[in-house]
Amino acid sequence: MRTTAHGAIEVDEYLRTSRPHIFAMGDVNGGPQFTYISLDDYRIVADQLSGEGKRSTTDRVAVPYTLFMTPPLARVGLTENEARAAGRSVRVASKAVAAMAAMPRASIVGEVRGLMKFVVDAETDEILGAALLSVDAQELVNTVALAMRSGVTASGLRDAIWTHPSSTEAFNEVLATVVR
């Protein structure tokens, strides 16, 4: 089997190795080393072996990740610099957690440190990326990733009705700060 320059097993988008009857899943194939990526690798291979054979790594859009510290740091999509480098016209929404009235959960649990930042396409209102450093960021990022995959705009996320007191309420406030 062929390997990459970094020693990972080389695979195609269906996780087939250079030996078409052998697949490589998880950390050995050089992809993102997250448990949930390994689970998705399994889904791709299972689809190849006993499904329609259509699922591939190219289906992975807006894959979030979290650095579990206090408070957690979670990211999904493009950074502001990446979006600008890709030629996108962007607007940025950013606000410190301590300054958000619409995030009562942070005060309730006594963790008001942090910041939320969204990168939004200036023309389409598409959410291009988000960085969330806050209580519950590991959960919030999943909502943002789902919104990105489902075509929910920044305005749609901003105007949604969220339960109270929850951390998702912060989306109402931070996305109201979008600037050019």
Is 77:60 a contact under the CB 8 Å cutoff? no
Q: Which residues are catalytic?
A: 164
Query: What is the C-alpha separation between 84 and 56, in angstroms, rounded?
Result: 28
Q: Which residue in 13, 35, 34 sits closest to 24, CA to CA?
A: 13
Q: Which long-range contacts (CB under 8 A, 24 or more apart) does 110-113 make?
A: 111/70, 111/71, 111/135, 113/71
Quick one: tokens of 98?
Answer: 């301590």
